[in-house]
Amino acid sequence: MQNDDLTRLDDRLALVTGAAAGIGAGVAEALARKGARLLLVDIDADALEAEVEAIRAGGHEATGVVADVRERSSIDALTAAAAAQGMDTGLDILVNNVGDHQPWGPFAESSEEDWNAIYAVNFEHVLRVTRTFLPGMIERRSGSIINVSSVEGFRGVPHCAVYAAHKAAVLNFTAGLSTEVGQFGVRVNAIAPDVTDTPQFPLHDLIAPKYHDQIGNWVPMGRFGTPRDHGDLVAFLASDAAQWITGESIRVDGGTLASSGWFRRDERRFTNVPRDFI
């Protein structure tokens, strides 16, 4: 009997960067549930091994690749892993997930070293990894690329202007590239997370208990996001159910951008969550 579930990803090879924990792990697990074969990339070898084993325990295929995508040398490891899966330099699905909001602080007090670090972890690797695997997708006339940006790419962020600029760059790169490669059957989309509870950014630990009952008032959907919220959307965008969707950047924020923004507490302190400052 023919499988009419267009959301299935059976036998497709997907590479997810920053996949050992948080949103990256949520993406990997969602793709696995839909039948994809996985190449999971991370710099944390122990956490990566644990995530790979967890996915395999669920009866799915996964291989871990320890690499730092901020470094050019990581490309050799990624292409070798893809080739071992019989895909040479090609993939069916690429998820550029790696990112980090650090360091925070007034722009006037930042340094070129800070800017370079933010560039490397939030945008440069998106260009590098995409450039590596895009030619194979073009050659096969098929592929889906999903970039993970941030809601901060849509709005002004106090004390994080450079980070927000690079997240906006991811969004615009997504749109621009999609117009180039759609003719080859390659789709490029992005998701933009906000207020997601992860090991990298444990929101509940940052918010004073006395404010926990306000979360439902601040986030329209009444709760913080989970890695699965993002993973399920990525799996959909990677599938044939989204075959007419490209160039899109979808906010996964529980409605926060639609309902709120940043608020100044004093000359140096801002907040977009109800929490005390240390």
Q: What is the signed CA dihedral for 11, 14, 20, 24, rounded to 10 degrees?
A: -120
Half-sphere exposure of 188 (CA within 13 A, CB side): 27
- Evaluate the CA torsion angle 29, 30, 33, 39 in order and state its sign: negative
Do residues 97 and 18 make contact, with C-beta atoms less than 8 angstroms apart? yes
Distance CA 166, CA 224 (A): 24
The radius of gyration of the chain from alpha carbons, rounded to an integer in Å, stands at 19
The catalytic residue positions are 163
- Evaluate the CA torsion angle 206, 202, 235, 173 in order and state its sign: positive
| Pairing between β-strand 263-264 and β-strand 270-271 as defined by DSSP bridges | antiparallel
Instruction: Read off the tokens for 78.
Output: 């990624």
Residues 6+ apart with CB under 8 A from 46: none
**Number of CB atoms found within 10 A of residue 123's CB:** 22
Residues 6+ apart with CB under 8 A from 143: 90, 91, 92, 93, 94, 133, 134, 136, 137, 185, 186, 187
